[in-house]
Every structure is written in C-alpha cells, then in structure tokens.
Structure 1
Amino acid sequence: MPIAFKLAGFYFCYYAIVGTFLPYWSLYLEHENFSHFEIGLLSTIAILTRFVAPFVWGWLADRTGKRMVWIRLATFVEAGVWLTIFFISKNFQTIAIIMLIFSFFQNAILAQFEGVTLFWLGEKRQQLYGKVRKWGSIGFIAGVFIIGLILQHVSISMLPILLLVIAIFAFIWSFSIAEPENAPSAQQQLEPILPILKRPVVASFLVIEFILLFSHAPFYSFYSNYLQQAGYNTAQIGFLWSTGVVAEIIMFAIANYFFQRFSWRSLIILCLLLTAVRWFMVGLFPQFFVLQFLAQCIHAFSFGLFHLIAMRIIFQNFSARQQGRGQALYSMMWGLGVASGSVLAGRYWDMLSGEIIFMLAGLASLLGLFWVMGLPKTIQKAG
C-alpha cells in the first residue's frame, strides 16, 4: 500500500472526527440545555489546550524522534473520551473536563502528523502535499454531510457514539503508518527556535494567523446555532459546512497557480480581504441560502490558501529538527486566536446578536493588513 494512500487515509479519519464534532457539538450542548455563554466557555476550553498541548507534543516528538507513537496514543485516548461521556452526569464541570482531555490529545495529532507527512513526502512534498491533504477535506465533508443526514433521523444525543466509532477507526488506521525514515532521531539537546521567531516573515505571519483565526471564532463556535436560529435544518447546515471544504479541496488542487504568480504578501492580503467579505455576508444575510453558500466558498481562501502558505513558511524557516515545534507553534496560534474570539463571541452573542458578532468578525480580520509588511513582496521559491 503506497505511503501517500496511508497518509491520505489518516487525514480522512482525523478530519471526519473534526467534521462530526465541529458543526454539531454546539447543537449537542444546546440540546443538553447549556446556555450560549456556557457553550462559548466550553468551546474555549477545547480550543485553549491548542495553546499548550501542541508545544508539549512537539517537544516530545522532537526530543524522542517518535511521532506516530504519540499520534496513536492520542487517538486511543480520544476514543476513550467519547465512551466515557455515557457514564458521567452532563453538567458544566464534567463536560469541561471531558473537553479538556479530548482537546489536549486531539491537538496532539494534527501538528505532528503534518510533520510526518512532510517528512514522508520528502522532495515530492510540493507536488504531493495538496493531493494527500485534500483527503482530510474529503473526510471532513463525509463527517459533516453524513452525520447531518443521520441526525435528521436520530437524536443529537447520539453524537458521542458517532464520534466514538470514527475515533476507533482512526486509531486502527494509524498502525498502517510507520515512523518517517528521514525524520530526525531522538535529540538530547533541542535546537532553539527563538532566533527563527525573530525573523520578520515568521513573526508577522504568526500575528496575522492569530488575527485571522480570531475572526473565525464565531464561525467555529456558533455558526451551526446561528443557522438553526435562522430556520435551517441539520442537513442544510451540513451542506453549508461541506461547501466550504469542497472549496478548500479545489484550492489545494489549483494553489500552485497562485504561488507561481503572486508573493506571500499579496496572497495573504487577498485572504484577509476575502475573509472580511465572508463574515459580512454571513452577518448581513442569514436568511439567504445562496449568499451563505457563496460565503462558504470563500473558505478556499480564508483557510485553504492560508494553510498552504503556512506549511511553506514553516518548512522553509524551521529546520528538520525544529519541525515538531514549528508545527506546534502554528497550531498554538490557531488555538489562541479561536479561543479568545470564542470567549468574546459567547459573552456578547445574546447581547449584540449573531448578525452583529459576524460583522465585527469581518472588521477584525482587516486588522491583519497592518502586519503584512513583514512578509516577502516577491514570489518565494518552492521549499
């Protein structure tokens, strides 16, 4: 079985979990009578671990030279979490603990698996990464769309069972992937990354990432609730979530067109501007399905293209022995941005309304434009 197929299969499983969790977890919590403020706090707990966990796992991966071992452990614990939820009382404290454990191990997976993938693909990573990574997007669509259809016929209270089944499959599939042959072995003394963080391109990019993901927080935490309040059913909600990921897949296929013609600076400016347009459309036109569909298509830029730029920046600026922590840093800034935005969105959702929150998110994304000067204004060679 080709390694690209194995890698693609794990991306599929991982993002099937994300596609099952992300759109429907807030609906599950609402079904369990949690308030919007509590949902925002629980979303923040789940996301805040992305501020700490990736560095813990990145340090372990770089120190031990073992990445798949930690990924397997994480998927095993993740499955255990969804089994445990049936044996506990569902109050704020217990669900908070569940979210803390789940997210701590869930956030161990992606940053390290990105490194595993890049090491396995080696010199072919520029040609093959998008083709492999798109299967994560396909997995997300499968999770969103199939689970949305299932939830049309069963209670949302069954969501943890569906997550348990997918997590078990991800754990089993992880054993098909060996440690990358060309990855660095265990390191007694880790190479410092502070000098890398002082580079203008890295520092500027991380600030922009925080701002961009801060603006995404209402979407990740409350978009499903927002659509449900506007009269959409779970199948329609699933379709709209899937639309964004289809757009992302298309971007993975055509991204080289942009990279060959435009600088990172120009592309990130485009991502920020289109993200602002996206949130304005979501906030201003919740009742118009077609406009929500078009807003979701912009996900190709607000996440897809931005993520591909991130992978290039990390692989070009962090050495092979720093990749675990470099990927962890990217994941950490993602979590910090979404977590802080989720707290604010949950706090003011009922006070201001979802429409106003999304329009404020659009304004927030434009703040990233102040930091683009640190990015290269010339086209970057493939790294």
Structure 2
Amino acid sequence: MPAGLRFSLLYAALFFELGVNLPFFPVWLRSQHLDDGRIGIILAMPLLARVVANPLVTAVADRQERLSGTLLTCAAAVAIGTPLLGATTTFLPILLLVAAIGLAQGPLIALADAVTLRATRTAVPVDYGRVRLWGSIAFAMANIAGGMLLIWFEPDMIIWLLTASAWLTALTALTVARLPSTQQSERQAFRASGSVGRLIVLVVIGAACVQASHGLIYAFGTLHWQSAGIGTGTTGMLWALGVVSEIAVFAIAGRLVGNARAAMFLLLSGAAVAAGRWLCMAFDPNVELLAVLQLTHGFTFGATHVGSIVVLAQLAAPAMQAQVQGWLAGAWAGLMALLTALCGQVYAGWGERTYLFMAGVAATGMVLIGLAALSASRRSLALQAPQKMTEPLNRLE
C-alpha cells in the first residue's frame, strides 16, 4: 500500500473517532443518568490528560527513536479501553476509564504529525496537507453518520461506533509502523541553541493562543446563533462552510509551505485572520457576514495548524521532532480548556462581546509569532528546511 494512502487512512480513522466523540459522547453520558456537573468533569478529563501525557509520551518516543511504535502502542491501548466503557454505568468508573483512555489517546495526533513529517523527508515525500485533509473529511462524515444512527439506535450505539473507529485507528497505525523509518544517517545534523529554543517556545505559545481562541465559537457558537433566531439548517450550513474551507487549505498547503519561511508566513497569516475574525464576531454580524467569516476557518485553524507544525519540525533537532509536536498539542489543549471554562463564566454577562477577548488572545499569538519571525531574521537563524523538505510537498502516493 502506498505511503500516502496509509497516512490518509490514519488521519481519517483518527478524526472519524473525534467526529463521533465530540458531539455524541455527551449524549451517551446523559443516557447514563449523569447530571451536568459530572458530565462536565468527565468531558474535561481528556483535555487534562492530554496536557500531562503529550509531553511525556512524545519525549519517550523521541529518546527511544520509536515514533511509529509509540503511535501503535497508544492506538492499541485506546482500542482496548474504549469497549470497556460499554460495561460502565456510574460516574467514578467512567471518569477513571476516560482518564486512562485519554492518556493514550492524547498523544496520537502529535505522534501522527511527527511520523508524517518524517515521511516528508523520504525520497518519495508525502504531502502533509493532502493526507491531513482526509481527517477533516472523516470528521464531517462522522458528524453526519452519528446523527443519523442516533435516529434509529439507542445511545449505547455511540460506544460501539467509537470502538470500531478505535480499532480502525490501531490497524492503520500498524500499516504506518511497517513503513521503513528514516535512518539516523539521513537526518539533518542540528544542534538546538538557546536562540532556537526560544524560537520554539514563542511558536508553541503563539500557535496555542491562536488555536485556543476558537474555544468560544466551539462551545457557544451554535447556542448564540440559535438565540439570535438562526435556524438549525442554516447553523449546520455555517459549520459546513468552515469544514469546506479547512479542507481546501489542507489540499493546497503542501504548495504553500515549500520551505520554512513560507510556513512561518502562513502561520502569521492564520493568526492575523483569527484576530480579525473574532473582532467581527463581537459585533453580532448577520447571516451573510457569518458565512464569510466561517469561510476564514481554513486560515484561522488550517493555516495555523499546518504552519505551526512545519515550522516546529524544521526548527527542532531530529531527536525532538515528536516532543515539539507534543508541546504544541499539550499547550493548545490546556489553554483551550482554560479559555473555554473562562468563557462559560464571561459569556453569560457579555454575550457576543466575549469574542473581543478571543480577538485579544489571537492577537497575542500573532505578536509572539511575529517576534519569532523577527528574531530568526535578526539572529540569522534562517528558517530553512533540510534539502529534502524544501522540495514541493505536492505528491500523494
């Protein structure tokens, strides 16, 4: 099976599970007769687990040079743990099991990104954007499939759908693990100086700010639109526009980030668009303007995501490739959890004006990313990829 197809299937399986989990796992929790407070605690647990597990697991994977093996181990643990949820019915067992699954599931995307980016350095490179877009497509398909299945089946169906996607993720991780690894002799020789370390920190925190600024629209976007009289069908269309734009950006991202300077520019552009998007959202735009703003999601999320992981992959030492992706994912998850909880308190009084706060968070990320770009230029730390990374990443095998 061609390498590009293996990675496409991996991302599709990973994000299909997320597409079921995010909207429908709360429905299953409610069917277990849990109150809102306990449901909130359970839903927060995977985010907290990610903050802890991502840096630790990815660091171990880097030290042992077992990125693909660690990816497979984590995927297998999720596949084993998920069906056990079907045998739990009370709060504490569900919480403990969700925490255990979260510790294994949290690092999966960071590890998948690190393994995929390693594949871009091979003689027949894999286009990250064009394999990652299948994750977005699968996420949208899972939203549709889960909603339709709930019409005909009881909420217990959700656990078995999650189980099926977890096993599919493990199988696709196995196919990726069987690919030949990049040999040590092929890796770019690089020693991380203090200057590069500071650049990595700036990029991680800056990108995390931009991504976490989406927390308000994820949590309260639909509720606010419904309170403003926007119908369910129109709301679904607005979310679909965001997914379509995200897929479009991933489809062309390989051509946009042929080198790390371009990736930094893409990252900075995503941050700037995010600040503008939330600023406009704060003034309660009409449906037509909302549609335009949703189309910017490809930049505010997609461009920020691709730009940040490519810049970090090219700044970091070979022995830190998974770690930097783990730092990014952990920082993003922790900050989003904090901002979402904070917005839950602020939104009650501020309403749509809460987006001003999100615009400030995104602008802070833009400043930090801008400082990283400026620092790289002043210190002559040319953001230049290894030779094999500078080739256009536009082939899907």
Give the TM-score range, shorter chain. Answer: 0.7 to 0.9
- Asked whether the equivalents of residues 208 and 328 of structure 2 are also in contact (C-alpha less than 8 Å), the reply is no
* CA drift at 1:53: 0.8
Kindly provide the CA deviation profile for residues 270-310 of structure 1, in whole angstroms up to 9, marking residues without a partner as x: 32232234335556549x65554433322211111111111
> Could you tell me which residue of structure 1 aligns to residue 78 of structure 2?
78
Contact 2:313 2:321 in 1 (8 A): yes
Q: Judging changes above 3 Å, is the alpha-carbon distance between structure 1 residues 271 and 8 closer, same or farther for their aligned structure 2 residues?
A: same
For the Cα contact (< 8 Å) 1:26–1:221, is it kept in 2?
no
Whether contact under 8 Å (1:118, 1:125) holds in the other structure is no
- Give yes or no for contact 1:196–1:317 (8 Å, CA) kept in 2: no
Superposition pairs for residues 205-354 of structure 1, below 5 Å? 205-223=203-221, 240-255=238-253, 258-259=256-257, 266-280=265-279, 285=284, 290-349=288-347, 351-352=348-349
> Do structure 1's residue 374 and structure 2's residue 391 form an aligned pair?
no
Letter paired with 2:303: L
CA shift at 1:9, angstroms? 0.7
Q: 1:10 Cα deviation (Å)? A: 0.8
Instruction: Find the counterpart in structure 2 of residue 361 from structure 1.
Output: 358
Structure 1: gaps of 5 or more residues:
186-190
* Cα distance in 2 between the residues matched to 1:148 and 1:318: 41
CA distance in 2, matches of 1:259, 1:177: 24
Does the CA contact (< 8 Å) of 2:209 and 2:332 recur in 1?
Answer: no
Q: 1:110 to 1:380 in 2, by over 3 A?
A: same
TM-fit CA distance, 1:2: 0.8
Give distance in 2, aligned partners of 1:159 and 1:228.
Answer: 26
Give distance in 2, aligned partners of 1:125 and 1:374: 34
Query: 1: CA distance between counterparts of 2:236 and 2:79?
Result: 23
Cα distance, 1:4–1:162 mapped onto 2, change above 3 Å:
same
Structure 2 letter corresponding to 1:328: G
Cα shift readout 1:139-170 (whole Å, capped 9, x = no counterpart) = 22221232233334545553222212211222
Matched, 1:117 2:116: yes
Query: Which consecutive residues of structure 2, in runs of 5 or more, have no partner in the other structure?
Result: 185-189, 390-397
CA contact 1:43–1:342 (8 Å) conserved in 2: no
* 1:19 alignment partner in structure 2: 19
Aligned residues: 373
Structure 1 residues 371 and 115: alpha-carbon distance in aligned structure 2, compared to 1, 3 A threshold = closer
- Which residue number corresponds to residue 64 of structure 1? 64
Superposed CA deviations along residues 301-357 of structure 1, whole A, max 9, x for unmatched, are: 1111111111221221112222121221122211222122122234445x3365344
- Normalised TM-score (structure 2): 0.79
Instruction: Report the CA distance between 1:8 and its aligned residue.
Output: 0.9
Judging changes above 3 Å, is the alpha-carbon distance between structure 1 residues 183 and 259 closer, same or farther for their aligned structure 2 residues?
Answer: closer
CA distance in 1, matches of 2:236, 2:81: 24
Match of 1:188 in 2: none
1:233 and 1:75 map into 2 onto residues whose CA distance is 39
d(CA) in 2 for partners of 1:231 and 1:30? 27
CA RMSD of aligned residues (A): 3.5
2:118 and 2:182 in contact (8 A); partners too:
yes
Measured against aligned partners, the alpha-carbon deviations of 1:234-257 in whole angstroms (never above 9, x if no partner) come to 877665444323211211233366
Q: How does 1:107-186 map to 2 (within 5 A)?
A: 107-123=106-122, 128-156=127-155, 158-183=157-182
1:5, distance to aligned residue in structure 2 (A): 0.8
Q: C-alpha displacement at 1:89, in angstroms?
A: 2.5
Pairing 1:103–2:102 present: yes
